[in-house]
Amino acid sequence: MCESCRLGGKPWALVYARVSTPGQEEDGSSLDTQVAECLSLARDEGFEVPDRFILREQWTGAELRRPLLDQARNAARQGEVHAFVCLSPDRLSRNPAHLMQITEELPEHDVRLLFCQGPSGDTPEDKLLRYISGFVGQKERQAITERTTRGKIAWAGRGVMPVGSGRGLYGYELDEVAKKRRVLPDEAVVVRLIFDLCISGICVYEIARTLNLKGILTKGGGKWHPLTVKRVLINTGYKGVTYYGKERVEKAIDIARRDLRVQGDGLFIWLRDDQFLREPRKPLDVNIEHYPPYTLGMIVIRTAKIMFGAARRDLLIESARALGFSRTGGRITEVIDSVIQSLLDEGKLGESFGNIHSMD
Protein backbone atom coordinates (compact mmCIF):
# COMPACT_ATOMS: atom_id res chain seq x y z
CA MET A 1 0.00 0.00 0.00
CA CYS A 2 1.33 3.45 -0.90
CA GLU A 3 2.00 6.09 1.74
CA SER A 4 -0.97 8.23 0.60
CA CYS A 5 -3.43 5.33 1.05
CA ARG A 6 -2.11 4.64 4.52
CA LEU A 7 -2.81 8.25 5.42
CA GLY A 8 -6.32 8.08 3.97
CA GLY A 9 -5.62 10.21 0.89
CA LYS A 10 -5.97 9.54 -2.82
CA PRO A 11 -3.94 6.66 -4.26
CA TRP A 12 -0.72 7.66 -5.93
CA ALA A 13 0.12 7.35 -9.61
CA LEU A 14 3.44 7.59 -11.42
CA VAL A 15 3.88 9.55 -14.65
CA TYR A 16 6.54 8.44 -17.13
CA ALA A 17 7.45 10.66 -20.11
CA ARG A 18 10.15 9.88 -22.67
CA VAL A 19 11.81 11.35 -25.75
CA SER A 20 14.75 9.96 -27.68
CA THR A 21 16.40 13.23 -28.71
CA PRO A 22 16.21 16.93 -27.80
CA GLY A 23 14.81 17.58 -31.29
CA GLN A 24 11.52 15.97 -30.31
CA GLU A 25 10.85 19.03 -28.16
CA GLU A 26 9.85 20.80 -31.39
CA ASP A 27 7.17 18.46 -32.73
CA GLY A 28 4.61 18.41 -29.92
CA SER A 29 6.14 15.40 -28.19
CA SER A 30 8.08 17.38 -25.61
CA LEU A 31 8.44 16.02 -22.11
CA ASP A 32 6.40 18.85 -20.61
CA THR A 33 3.54 18.24 -23.05
CA GLN A 34 3.53 14.55 -22.24
CA VAL A 35 3.58 15.19 -18.50
CA ALA A 36 0.68 17.66 -18.74
CA GLU A 37 -1.55 15.14 -20.55
CA CYS A 38 -0.58 12.34 -18.17
CA LEU A 39 -1.31 14.47 -15.08
CA SER A 40 -4.72 15.37 -16.47
CA LEU A 41 -5.57 11.70 -17.05
CA ALA A 42 -4.33 10.72 -13.59
CA ARG A 43 -6.55 13.34 -11.94
CA ASP A 44 -9.54 12.25 -14.00
CA GLU A 45 -8.99 8.67 -12.83
CA GLY A 46 -8.85 9.78 -9.19
CA PHE A 47 -5.10 9.55 -8.61
CA GLU A 48 -2.63 11.96 -7.05
CA VAL A 49 0.87 12.32 -8.52
CA PRO A 50 3.64 13.45 -6.14
CA ASP A 51 6.49 15.40 -7.75
CA ARG A 52 8.96 12.58 -7.10
CA PHE A 53 6.85 10.27 -9.26
CA ILE A 54 6.95 12.55 -12.32
CA LEU A 55 9.75 11.03 -14.36
CA ARG A 56 11.10 12.71 -17.51
CA GLU A 57 13.61 10.64 -19.48
CA GLN A 58 15.62 11.23 -22.64
CA TRP A 59 16.51 7.72 -23.81
CA THR A 60 15.97 5.47 -26.78
CA GLY A 61 12.75 3.50 -26.72
CA ALA A 62 14.49 0.46 -28.21
CA GLU A 63 16.13 -0.43 -24.89
CA LEU A 64 14.38 -1.93 -21.89
CA ARG A 65 16.99 -0.97 -19.34
CA ARG A 66 16.67 2.77 -18.77
CA PRO A 67 17.53 4.53 -15.49
CA LEU A 68 14.18 6.23 -14.91
CA LEU A 69 12.10 3.39 -16.34
CA ASP A 70 13.89 1.03 -13.96
CA GLN A 71 13.05 3.44 -11.14
CA ALA A 72 9.40 3.46 -12.18
CA ARG A 73 9.18 -0.33 -12.38
CA ASN A 74 10.81 -0.67 -8.95
CA ALA A 75 8.25 1.73 -7.48
CA ALA A 76 5.49 -0.45 -8.94
CA ARG A 77 7.05 -3.65 -7.59
CA GLN A 78 7.37 -2.17 -4.10
CA GLY A 79 3.74 -1.05 -4.03
CA GLU A 80 4.56 2.66 -3.85
CA VAL A 81 2.05 3.54 -6.58
CA HIS A 82 -1.29 2.22 -7.82
CA ALA A 83 -1.13 3.47 -11.42
CA PHE A 84 1.48 3.92 -14.13
CA VAL A 85 0.56 6.70 -16.57
CA CYS A 86 2.21 7.21 -19.96
CA LEU A 87 1.25 9.20 -23.05
CA SER A 88 1.18 6.28 -25.49
CA PRO A 89 2.61 2.77 -25.92
CA ASP A 90 5.47 4.00 -28.14
CA ARG A 91 6.57 6.41 -25.39
CA LEU A 92 6.84 3.43 -23.05
CA SER A 93 8.71 1.24 -25.53
CA ARG A 94 9.23 0.87 -29.27
CA ASN A 95 10.01 -2.81 -28.92
CA PRO A 96 6.83 -4.95 -28.93
CA ALA A 97 8.38 -7.67 -26.76
CA HIS A 98 9.51 -5.13 -24.15
CA LEU A 99 6.11 -3.46 -24.26
CA MET A 100 4.38 -6.76 -23.59
CA GLN A 101 6.76 -7.52 -20.73
CA ILE A 102 6.02 -4.24 -18.97
CA THR A 103 2.28 -4.38 -19.55
CA GLU A 104 2.13 -7.93 -18.18
CA GLU A 105 4.36 -7.07 -15.22
CA LEU A 106 2.42 -4.11 -13.80
CA PRO A 107 -0.91 -5.89 -13.15
CA GLU A 108 0.98 -8.56 -11.20
CA HIS A 109 1.73 -5.83 -8.64
CA ASP A 110 -1.82 -4.41 -8.71
CA VAL A 111 -0.70 -1.38 -10.70
CA ARG A 112 -2.98 0.00 -13.42
CA LEU A 113 -1.39 0.95 -16.71
CA LEU A 114 -3.01 4.06 -18.22
CA PHE A 115 -2.27 5.49 -21.67
CA CYS A 116 -3.52 8.92 -22.73
CA GLN A 117 -3.42 7.74 -26.34
CA GLY A 118 -3.96 4.02 -26.72
CA PRO A 119 -5.64 1.00 -25.13
CA SER A 120 -5.25 0.74 -21.36
CA GLY A 121 -7.44 -2.28 -20.59
CA ASP A 122 -6.44 -5.85 -19.77
CA THR A 123 -8.66 -7.61 -22.32
CA PRO A 124 -7.01 -9.78 -24.97
CA GLU A 125 -8.07 -7.23 -27.58
CA ASP A 126 -6.36 -4.39 -25.69
CA LYS A 127 -3.19 -6.46 -25.30
CA LEU A 128 -3.19 -7.24 -29.00
CA LEU A 129 -3.64 -3.58 -29.89
CA ARG A 130 -0.74 -2.62 -27.60
CA TYR A 131 1.47 -5.24 -29.23
CA ILE A 132 0.54 -3.96 -32.67
CA SER A 133 1.27 -0.42 -31.49
CA GLY A 134 4.69 -1.54 -30.29
CA PHE A 135 5.36 -3.24 -33.62
CA VAL A 136 4.37 -0.09 -35.50
CA GLY A 137 6.61 1.96 -33.22
CA GLN A 138 9.53 -0.34 -33.93
CA LYS A 139 8.98 -0.05 -37.68
CA GLU A 140 8.72 3.72 -37.36
CA ARG A 141 12.02 3.83 -35.51
CA GLN A 142 13.69 1.80 -38.26
CA ALA A 143 12.24 4.14 -40.89
CA ILE A 144 13.51 7.20 -39.02
CA THR A 145 16.97 5.67 -38.75
CA GLU A 146 17.00 4.86 -42.45
CA ARG A 147 15.88 8.37 -43.47
CA THR A 148 18.45 9.96 -41.17
CA THR A 149 21.23 7.78 -42.54
CA ARG A 150 20.29 8.57 -46.15
CA GLY A 151 20.28 12.27 -45.34
CA LYS A 152 23.71 12.13 -43.71
CA ILE A 153 25.15 10.18 -46.63
CA ALA A 154 23.78 12.82 -49.01
CA TRP A 155 25.41 15.60 -46.93
CA ALA A 156 28.71 13.72 -46.88
CA GLY A 157 28.53 13.19 -50.64
CA ARG A 158 28.42 16.98 -51.07
CA GLY A 159 31.51 17.38 -48.90
CA VAL A 160 29.56 18.66 -45.92
CA MET A 161 30.07 17.09 -42.51
CA PRO A 162 26.92 15.35 -41.21
CA VAL A 163 25.84 16.65 -37.84
CA GLY A 164 26.05 13.97 -35.16
CA SER A 165 25.27 13.83 -31.47
CA GLY A 166 28.78 13.05 -30.21
CA ARG A 167 31.26 15.38 -28.57
CA GLY A 168 33.27 15.71 -31.76
CA LEU A 169 36.98 15.59 -32.50
CA TYR A 170 39.30 16.92 -29.80
CA GLY A 171 40.80 20.22 -30.93
CA TYR A 172 37.80 21.18 -33.04
CA GLU A 173 34.21 22.29 -32.79
CA LEU A 174 31.54 21.99 -35.45
CA ASP A 175 30.45 25.13 -37.26
CA GLU A 176 26.68 24.55 -37.40
CA VAL A 177 26.25 26.98 -40.31
CA ALA A 178 29.13 25.96 -42.58
CA LYS A 179 28.97 22.31 -41.41
CA LYS A 180 32.75 22.31 -41.15
CA ARG A 181 35.17 21.79 -38.30
CA ARG A 182 36.58 24.91 -36.68
CA VAL A 183 39.87 24.78 -34.75
CA LEU A 184 39.77 25.44 -31.00
CA PRO A 185 43.12 27.11 -30.24
CA ASP A 186 43.43 25.88 -26.64
CA GLU A 187 42.72 22.26 -27.56
CA ALA A 188 44.87 22.50 -30.69
CA VAL A 189 47.89 23.17 -28.46
CA VAL A 190 47.18 19.91 -26.63
CA VAL A 191 46.85 17.97 -29.89
CA ARG A 192 50.22 19.27 -31.08
CA LEU A 193 51.73 18.31 -27.72
CA ILE A 194 50.40 14.75 -28.02
CA PHE A 195 51.90 14.30 -31.49
CA ASP A 196 55.21 15.93 -30.49
CA LEU A 197 55.56 13.61 -27.51
CA CYS A 198 54.74 10.59 -29.67
CA ILE A 199 57.30 11.59 -32.32
CA SER A 200 59.93 11.95 -29.60
CA GLY A 201 59.36 8.31 -28.61
CA ILE A 202 57.12 8.75 -25.56
CA CYS A 203 54.59 5.92 -25.15
CA VAL A 204 50.86 6.57 -24.90
CA TYR A 205 50.85 5.69 -21.21
CA GLU A 206 53.40 8.42 -20.41
CA ILE A 207 51.64 10.89 -22.69
CA ALA A 208 48.38 10.32 -20.80
CA ARG A 209 50.21 10.66 -17.50
CA THR A 210 51.81 13.94 -18.63
CA LEU A 211 48.47 15.42 -19.68
CA ASN A 212 46.85 14.42 -16.39
CA LEU A 213 49.70 15.92 -14.37
CA LYS A 214 49.24 19.17 -16.26
CA GLY A 215 45.55 19.16 -15.36
CA ILE A 216 44.44 18.97 -19.00
CA LEU A 217 41.00 17.42 -19.43
CA THR A 218 39.59 15.36 -22.30
CA LYS A 219 36.74 16.51 -24.53
CA GLY A 220 34.31 14.96 -22.08
CA GLY A 221 35.92 16.64 -19.08
CA GLY A 222 37.60 13.52 -17.73
CA LYS A 223 41.16 12.26 -17.31
CA TRP A 224 43.30 11.06 -20.17
CA HIS A 225 43.66 7.32 -20.67
CA PRO A 226 46.34 5.66 -22.83
CA LEU A 227 43.63 4.45 -25.19
CA THR A 228 42.23 7.97 -25.47
CA VAL A 229 45.65 9.19 -26.51
CA LYS A 230 45.97 6.36 -29.01
CA ARG A 231 42.64 7.29 -30.60
CA VAL A 232 43.93 10.81 -31.16
CA LEU A 233 47.13 9.52 -32.75
CA ILE A 234 45.36 7.17 -35.20
CA ASN A 235 42.48 9.46 -36.12
CA THR A 236 42.74 10.48 -39.77
CA GLY A 237 40.74 13.61 -38.98
CA TYR A 238 43.99 15.26 -37.86
CA LYS A 239 45.32 14.74 -41.40
CA GLY A 240 42.28 16.49 -42.80
CA VAL A 241 40.61 13.25 -43.89
CA THR A 242 37.16 12.43 -42.52
CA TYR A 243 35.24 9.27 -43.32
CA TYR A 244 31.52 8.82 -43.02
CA GLY A 245 29.87 5.42 -42.97
CA LYS A 246 32.67 3.71 -41.05
CA GLU A 247 34.20 4.01 -37.60
CA ARG A 248 36.62 6.96 -37.59
CA VAL A 249 38.18 5.92 -34.33
CA GLU A 250 38.27 2.21 -33.62
CA LYS A 251 37.66 0.88 -30.16
CA ALA A 252 40.57 -0.71 -28.36
CA ILE A 253 39.14 -4.19 -28.65
CA ASP A 254 38.72 -3.76 -32.41
CA ILE A 255 42.33 -2.67 -32.67
CA ALA A 256 43.36 -5.74 -30.71
CA ARG A 257 41.40 -8.05 -32.99
CA ARG A 258 42.86 -6.40 -36.09
CA ASP A 259 46.51 -6.03 -35.09
CA LEU A 260 47.15 -8.83 -32.60
CA ARG A 261 49.97 -11.06 -33.76
CA VAL A 262 49.92 -14.47 -32.11
CA GLN A 263 52.13 -17.30 -33.23
CA GLY A 264 52.24 -20.52 -31.31
CA ASP A 265 51.72 -24.23 -31.58
CA GLY A 266 49.43 -24.16 -34.60
CA LEU A 267 46.60 -22.54 -32.67
CA PHE A 268 45.87 -19.87 -35.26
CA ILE A 269 45.67 -19.53 -39.03
CA TRP A 270 46.15 -16.26 -40.90
CA LEU A 271 43.55 -14.33 -42.87
CA ARG A 272 45.15 -11.58 -44.98
CA ASP A 273 47.98 -9.61 -43.37
CA ASP A 274 46.25 -8.02 -40.44
CA GLN A 275 43.82 -10.58 -39.05
CA PHE A 276 43.91 -14.01 -37.54
CA LEU A 277 41.35 -16.73 -37.09
CA ARG A 278 41.47 -19.64 -34.75
CA GLU A 279 41.42 -23.08 -36.28
CA PRO A 280 38.15 -25.00 -35.98
CA ARG A 281 37.72 -26.28 -32.46
CA LYS A 282 38.85 -29.76 -31.60
CA PRO A 283 37.56 -31.60 -28.54
CA LEU A 284 40.96 -31.14 -26.88
CA ASP A 285 40.82 -27.37 -27.31
CA VAL A 286 37.45 -26.84 -25.63
CA ASN A 287 38.96 -26.85 -22.14
CA ILE A 288 41.31 -24.02 -21.19
CA GLU A 289 43.23 -26.48 -19.03
CA HIS A 290 44.73 -27.94 -22.22
CA TYR A 291 46.57 -24.73 -23.09
CA PRO A 292 50.23 -24.78 -21.97
CA PRO A 293 51.03 -22.02 -19.43
CA TYR A 294 53.66 -20.61 -21.80
CA THR A 295 51.07 -20.21 -24.56
CA LEU A 296 48.63 -18.49 -22.19
CA GLY A 297 51.32 -16.10 -20.96
CA MET A 298 52.50 -15.30 -24.49
CA ILE A 299 48.98 -14.45 -25.67
CA VAL A 300 48.26 -12.29 -22.61
CA ILE A 301 51.52 -10.35 -23.07
CA ARG A 302 50.94 -9.77 -26.78
CA THR A 303 47.36 -8.69 -26.12
CA ALA A 304 48.64 -6.28 -23.43
CA LYS A 305 51.05 -4.73 -25.94
CA ILE A 306 48.20 -3.91 -28.30
CA MET A 307 45.86 -2.77 -25.54
CA PHE A 308 48.57 -0.77 -23.77
CA GLY A 309 47.14 0.64 -20.56
CA ALA A 310 43.87 -1.31 -20.71
CA ALA A 311 41.82 -2.11 -17.65
CA ARG A 312 42.54 -5.55 -16.24
CA ARG A 313 39.06 -6.85 -17.03
CA ASP A 314 39.33 -5.71 -20.67
CA LEU A 315 42.71 -7.41 -21.02
CA LEU A 316 41.23 -10.60 -19.58
CA ILE A 317 38.28 -10.57 -22.00
CA GLU A 318 40.41 -9.90 -25.09
CA SER A 319 42.94 -12.58 -24.10
CA ALA A 320 40.10 -15.08 -23.80
CA ARG A 321 38.82 -14.07 -27.24
CA ALA A 322 42.29 -14.43 -28.70
CA LEU A 323 42.26 -17.98 -27.35
CA GLY A 324 38.99 -18.65 -29.13
CA PHE A 325 36.56 -18.39 -26.23
CA SER A 326 33.44 -16.31 -26.85
CA ARG A 327 32.56 -16.06 -23.16
CA THR A 328 34.68 -15.37 -20.08
CA GLY A 329 33.06 -16.99 -17.12
CA GLY A 330 33.94 -19.49 -14.45
CA ARG A 331 37.17 -21.38 -14.98
CA ILE A 332 38.27 -19.35 -18.03
CA THR A 333 38.23 -16.12 -16.02
CA GLU A 334 40.01 -17.76 -13.11
CA VAL A 335 42.82 -19.21 -15.23
CA ILE A 336 43.50 -16.10 -17.33
CA ASP A 337 43.34 -13.80 -14.31
CA SER A 338 45.89 -16.01 -12.53
CA VAL A 339 48.13 -15.78 -15.61
CA ILE A 340 47.87 -11.98 -15.57
CA GLN A 341 48.74 -11.92 -11.87
CA SER A 342 51.73 -14.22 -12.41
CA LEU A 343 53.03 -11.98 -15.20
CA LEU A 344 52.62 -8.95 -12.92
CA ASP A 345 54.55 -10.73 -10.16
CA GLU A 346 57.30 -11.67 -12.63
CA GLY A 347 57.59 -8.10 -13.87
CA LYS A 348 56.54 -8.97 -17.42
CA LEU A 349 53.45 -6.78 -17.05
CA GLY A 350 53.02 -3.56 -15.09
CA GLU A 351 49.97 -2.10 -13.39
CA SER A 352 49.26 1.57 -12.74
CA PHE A 353 46.01 3.18 -11.66
CA GLY A 354 44.25 -0.17 -12.18
CA ASN A 355 45.41 -0.46 -15.81
CA ILE A 356 47.77 -3.10 -17.24
CA HIS A 357 50.64 -2.33 -19.62
CA SER A 358 53.45 -4.39 -21.11
CA MET A 359 56.96 -3.85 -19.78
CA ASP A 360 58.86 -4.18 -23.05
Q: Give the pLDDT of residue 3.
A: 58
Does residue 154 belong to any structural domain of this protein?
A: no
pLDDT in tens, 65-100: 889 999 999 999 999 999 999 998 888 888 877 888
Domain co-membership, 7 together with 86:
yes
pLDDT at residue number 84: 95
Same domain, 130 and 180: no
Same domain, 181 and 66: no
Residue 246 resides in a domain: no
- One domain, residues 278 and 321: yes
Res. 245: pLDDT tops 60: no
More confident residue, 267 or 11: 11
- Which one is predicted more confidently, 254 or 47? 47
Which stretch of 28-37, 113-122, 139-148, 189-198 has the lowest confidence by average pLDDT? 139-148
> Quick one: pLDDT at residue 10?
85
Q: Where does a domain end: 190, 209, 239?
A: 239
Kindly state whether residues 31 and 115 are assigned to the same domain.
yes
Q: DSSP per residue over 121-174, as a string?
A: --SHHHHHHHHHHHHHHHHHHHHHHHHHHHHHHHHHHTT-PPP-SS---TTEEE
Q: Indicate if 216 and 271 belong to the same structural domain.
A: no
The residue ranking higher by pLDDT, 138 or 59, is: 59
State pLDDT tens for residues 153-175. 666 666 666 565 456 788 888 77
Distance of alpha carbon 271 from alpha carbon 262, whole angstroms: 13
- 22-36, 135-149, 212-226, 268-282, range with the lowest pLDDT: 268-282
| Minimum mean pLDDT range among 41-50, 95-104, 126-135 | 126-135
Helices (H), the chain: 3-6, 31-44, 67-77, 89-92, 96-108, 124-157, 185-199, 204-213, 226-234, 252-259, 293-306, 312-322, 331-345
In a domain, 163, yes or no: no
Q: Mean pLDDT, to the nearest integer, of 254-262?
A: 42
The tally of domains found in the chain comes to 3
Judgement on whether residues 354 and 305 belong to the same structural domain of the protein: yes
215, 239, 263: which is the final residue of a domain?
239
Domain check: are 217 and 269 in the same one? no
pLDDT at residue 133 greater than cutoff 70: no
Q: 264 and 228 in one domain?
A: no
**Is residue 113 in some structural domain?**
yes
Q: How confident is the model at residue 156, as a pLDDT?
A: 60
pLDDT the model gives residue 273:
35
Domain range enclosing 307:
252-358
Share of the chain above pLDDT 90, in %: 21
**For 287-309, how does the pLDDT look when each residue is reduced to its tens digit (9 = 90+)?**
676 677 787 888 888 888 877 77
Would 244 be classed as within a structural domain?
no
Cβ contacts of residue 17 below 8 Å, gap of 6+?
31, 34, 35, 38, 54, 55, 56, 57, 86, 87, 91
Residue 298 lies in a domain: yes
176 shares its domain with 109: no
> 136 falls in which pLDDT band (50, 70, 90)?
low
